Structures are given as C-alpha cells and as structure tokens.
Amino acid sequence: MITRLSQLFLRTLRDDPADAEVPSHKLLVRAGYVRRIAPGVYSWLPLGLRVLREVERVVREEMNAIGAQEILLPALLPREPYESTKRWTEYGDALFRLKDRKGADYLLGPTHEELFALMVKGEYNSYKDLPVMLYQIQTKYRDEERPRAGILRGREFVMKDSYSFDLDDDGLEKSYHAHREAYQRIFARLSVKYVIVAATSGAMGGSASEEFLAESPVGEDTYVRCVESGYAANVEAVVTPAPAPLPVDGLPDAVVHDTPDTPTIATLVEWANGALGREVIAADTLKNILVKLRYPDGKTELLGIGVPGDREIDEKRLGASVEPAEFELITEADFAANPFLAKGYVGPKALLDNGIRYLVDPRVVTGTSWITGADAPGKHVVGLVAGRDFTPDGTIEAAEVRDGDPSPDGAGPLVAARGIEIGHIFQLGYKYTDTFNVDVLGENGKPVRLIQGSYGVGVSRLVAVIAEQQHDEKGLRWPAEVAPFDVHVVIANKDDAARAGAESLAAELDAAGLSVVLDDRKASPGVKFKDSELIGVPLVVVVGRGWAEGNAEIRDRFTGESVEVPGSEVVARVQALRAS
C-alpha cells in the first residue's frame, strides 16, 4: 500500500520546538515523528510509530534467535512483590505509585524482575524445564526527576526487558553471553555506534554487569576508555591502579605546624609554599572527608575517606563503592557529638584512634608522605607517612577519574567520553529468587535455587539515538533497517506526465515489495525536497523535469549523491542501492 503525503497525518515544522535542546528531539518533532503530551510523555505519530515498530522488530528477531520467548506482563502491578524486595521504597520518587478504588497500592512497572521470578516459580518445578529466557517488549514507567531530550529520557517509554533463569553459574554465564551477542547484533543492525563498558568494579565477578553506551556528545553517562587497549568502563567501574609501595626508611619525621586560617586545600598549599621552602602542590596534601553511611537496616556509621588534595570526591563512584549503604554529608551535630574532629583540620590519627573506619584512595600507598590535618584547629602535620605514621583500614574508589589517568590495564591514558545507555546486561544472581524461594526439583531430588539474569534494551530511546547519531544539518537519516519507508517518491513537476510517471513508479516499487511514500501534495518542489531531507527516508526518487526524457533521479540521503536513470531502471537501481 502506497502512503500518500497528501493524506498522511503529518505536518512538518519549520522551526525547532522551544523546549528542545538536542538534535534528535528537535528533528523528531519538526519532522512530525513525535509530539509532547506532558513532561517526558510523548505521542507517536505515523512516521515515528513506523520507526518504533521497526526497532521492535529487530529486537524481537534477535531475541527469538537466541531462544528467548516473548510474553507480556501488565504495567499496572500490585505493591506486594516490590514490597518483598524493598524496591517499593528503594525506588524512591522514581516510582509512579497509585491506589485503586479499594485503596490497594499499585505501581506502574519500571522493570519486572520480581514478576518474572514469580512467573517462573508459578509455572516450572523441575530442573528439566530449565534453562529459560523470557522477554517482553513493553511500555515502562519511571518518574524521572528531569525528563529530557524528548524520547531520549521519557517517563513513559518502550523497553525490551528479558530475564534468564538457570540452574547454576555456568548456565547464567551462557545466558548472559547469549544476550551480550544478541545485543551486539541488534545494535549492528541498527547502525548504532556504541561501546560496551564494565558497569561495576568487578567485585561481583568481572563481567557481572555491562552497559551498552551509544556514543554521543549529548549522552548523560560519562565513561572512560583507553584508546590503546580498547578498555572502556563507566567511571564507577574504574579501578585506580595503585603505585608500588615505597620504602619508609630515611623519610623525615612528621612535624606538626601552626597553620592558621588554612581550612581549605588552596589555603594550605599557599601556606606550605611559603613556610616549607620547597614547591608544594595540591597532590602533596591528603584531604580527609567524612560521610555518614546509612545501611538498609537503618544503622549508620561515620566513615573517613582520604584522597589526594588535588582530587574531588566523585559522588557516583563513592555511591557505588559503599553500596548497599547510602552516604550523606555529616552535619554540625555530628561534629558536636565527636569533639575529637577538628573541622577543616581532620587528620588520619583522630579517626583511627577513635574507632572511625578510615579508607584511602589507592594512591595512598605505604611510603607516601603527606601534608594533612593534625586534628586541632589551625594545625597541620607535614611528612606524615602512610604505613609508618598511620595505617588505613583499606582503600576506596571515591576520587574522581580524570582525562589522562592511567588505564587500569596499564596500556595508556584514559580519555573521558559521553554516551547514552541503550542496553544493560546484568548477572543478577539470587537477589529475587532468594526473596521468592524460586526453586525447582534438581536431578538429585533436592531443590535447586534458580539463578537469574536481567537484560534491557531501551527500544523507544533507540529511535532517538539513531536520529542523534545519523542526522545531518538538513534533517533525519534513517538506516534502511529501521526507516519508516524504503523509498520516498517526489512528484517535482506539475505536468500531468510527471505526476502519472511518479504514480506508476510508486506502484512498481510497491509491487516489488518496497514500502513507498509518495509526495503527491500540491507544494513546490523546493518544499518537497526540504521535507524529504527532514523526514530522512534513505532513498528519494524524484520525478521532475527529466521525466520529459523519461528519466528520474535517485538520491541517496546518506551520501547526498544522486543519479539520473531511465524510468524503466528505477526499481532495479533502488534495489541495488538498498543491497549495497
């Protein structure tokens, strides 16, 4: 069936929408793909829906190819399962919660780990049933604090989420890698440029969690990569290479100095450069930060963290390091309750002497000598040597990662880049199957607890990501795999012959199994060309002046190249260009 622009529910806009900042958002609105209904809540117009369905199709085909089975769970979910896993509260404000007419609590599903675990528990009871991989392509809800960039970060969005259930670690490993490879095929078919980054520091086993990040300057995720080795990781997952310990013998003794009015690193460095008679930089100082950890059981703990004075604390890295606890800044009340803490002049000694856990940056190795707080107002100690004058309780990844820092694999420097999360694969383990006692009868007659994996692809987000990576200054450009149409036929001449020629070409293309949009509107060729560039169908067939000689023009939206071919060759040339 040929789609006619004269009838398509479409109005392209000349101007960027006022609320749009990123190119994909501007273009998807201008080209009539999506419309905003509320913050982070969008409608899909005919063109947008066609692309969304194509992305879904690719995802579905690759999921089916690894033997995953499609099911569909509701978006409206009862509170109880999420209460059991504490996610009802842990999700915080990001969860849409509501009550039904009887006052029962419900939520709009942000992700379905609980329900899939319960589903498998309900259906399966023997090791013979396993392994199983289940998925759904479904509308999800998250009440994002800052929905942004149109469909790039929405509050209602389409996601493919899948879950694997296996009898043992080896099985989980296989399911995880099947997903990893399926995702690589999906993103390759969608022509998405991406990197796979380690998403956790590996404490759970190296490949326990990886993210697929689409490379994009408008991305919200920062990751680092080593050009030399190909290493890539979320900043949370970067392990700081620790230098080798140094000998302590012969190092000068630590000396306490009066350092009035030096509560900051900058003032301390200024004092040291004047008073010590040598060049001192911020990296020579040891900055001690105090945070309060709050554990899921409600208990709290003060924690001291020592980092080189030239580095800030990265809250994401600190947060990942103290999980499952959450951290908060300490208050005046905390200082008051612990009078041994000299605000602005805290040193390792008071912490260690008073039983406060003290963790340091991995660069603070034995034999390094520091200028740091002396635990009294206006006093610092110079030449305090790690491993001689103080022994920390361990190390912590909390300091910022910077461009030029050495890669953990030693291959070269790290560079920072930005990306958009498009996929996440996660060896969940037993968190949910333990909560719900998801057991089957094992081969030996004893129950076996199933081990779960969780895998997600942002389906609607991918529409924006492709737009973001592929657009040019004229508009959208869709890879053939997901284009709303295969061919865009433009009637670029008012005479009846050209119109009839375009109609018959469109019919031929349609008959050849291609999806065709025909611009049969009463508009000028200029308007039509601009719209065809904005809409971004990969191949455009123009029937204009050349038709008098029986020729049409085929334009490649990606390369910008165009060829004039006889009308009789259009279908074959279009097919050849699609195959190339």
Query: Residue 9 Cβ, how far from a second copy at the closest point, in Å?
Result: 5
> 29 Cβ partners below 8 Å, 6+ apart?
13, 16, 17, 20, 35, 36, 150
Residue 77 contacts a second copy per CB under 8 A:
yes
Number of residues that bind a second copy (CB under 8 A): 53
Binding mask 461-500 for a second copy (x = CB under 8 A): ----------------------------------------
Residue 70 contacts a second copy per CB under 8 A:
yes
Among 51, 59, 117, 119, binds a second copy (CB under 8 A): 119
Query: Residue 281 Cβ, how far from a second copy at the closest point, in Å?
Result: 44
Query: Residue 102 Cβ, how far from a second copy at the closest point, in Å?
Result: 9
Residue 90 contacts a second copy per CB under 8 A:
no
Residue 340 contacts a second copy per CB under 8 A:
no
10 Å Cβ neighbour count for 282? 16
Residue 524 contacts a second copy per CB under 8 A:
no
Query: Residue 71 Cβ, how far from a second copy at the closest point, in Å?
Result: 5
Q: What are the phi and psi torsion angles at 528 (to 5°)?
A: -65, -40
Q: What are the phi and psi torsion angles at 153 (to 5°)?
A: -140, 85
CA distance 346 to 380: 9
CA distance 433 to 449: 7
Residue where the block lists tokens 């900058």 = 266
Query: Residue 260 Cβ, how far from a second copy at the closest point, in Å?
Result: 46
Window 120 to 159, contacts with a second copy (CB under 8 A): 122-124, 132, 134, 139, 141, 143, 145, 155-156
Identify the three-state secondary structure at position 142.
Answer: coil
Residue 322 contacts a second copy per CB under 8 A:
no
CA distance 537 to 488: 6
**Which H or E run includes 500?**
helix 496-511
Residue 302 or 491 with smaller CB distance to a second copy:
491
DSSP for residue 309: T
Residue 115 contacts a second copy per CB under 8 A:
yes
10 Å Cβ neighbour count for 95? 18
CA distance 356 to 351: 5
Answer whether the bond into residue 324 is a cis peptide, omega within 30°. Answer: yes
Residue 10 contacts a second copy per CB under 8 A:
yes
Query: Residue 85 Cβ, how far from a second copy at the closest point, in Å?
Result: 16
Residue where the block lists tokens 């295969």 = 486
Residue 98 contacts a second copy per CB under 8 A:
yes
Residue 385 contacts a second copy per CB under 8 A:
no
Token representation of residue 151: 């469909």
- Which span sits near a second copy by CB under 8 A: 96-104, 289-297, 355-363, 562-570? 96-104
CA distance 358 to 400: 18
Query: Residue 248 Cβ, how far from a second copy at the closest point, in Å?
Result: 53
Cα–Cα distances (Å) from 552 to 115, 449, 511, 528, in that order, read 56, 65, 18, 16
- Which span sits near a second copy by CB under 8 A: 93-101, 272-280, 543-551, 555-563? 93-101
DSSP for residue 152: G
Residue 42 contacts a second copy per CB under 8 A:
yes
Query: Residue 50 Cβ, how far from a second copy at the closest point, in Å?
Result: 9
> CA angle, corner 573, sides to 532 and 556, nearest 5?
30
Residue 33 contacts a second copy per CB under 8 A:
no
Residue 51 contacts a second copy per CB under 8 A:
no
Residue 124 or 478 with smaller CB distance to a second copy:
124
**Which H or E run includes 470?**
helix 459-470
Residue 89 contacts a second copy per CB under 8 A:
no
CA distance 305 to 499: 74
Binding site for a second copy (CB under 8 A): 1, 7-11, 32, 35, 37-38, 41-46, 49, 52, 64, 67, 69-78, 93-94, 96-98, 100-101, 104, 106, 108, 115, 119, 122-124, 132, 134, 139, 141, 143, 145, 155-156
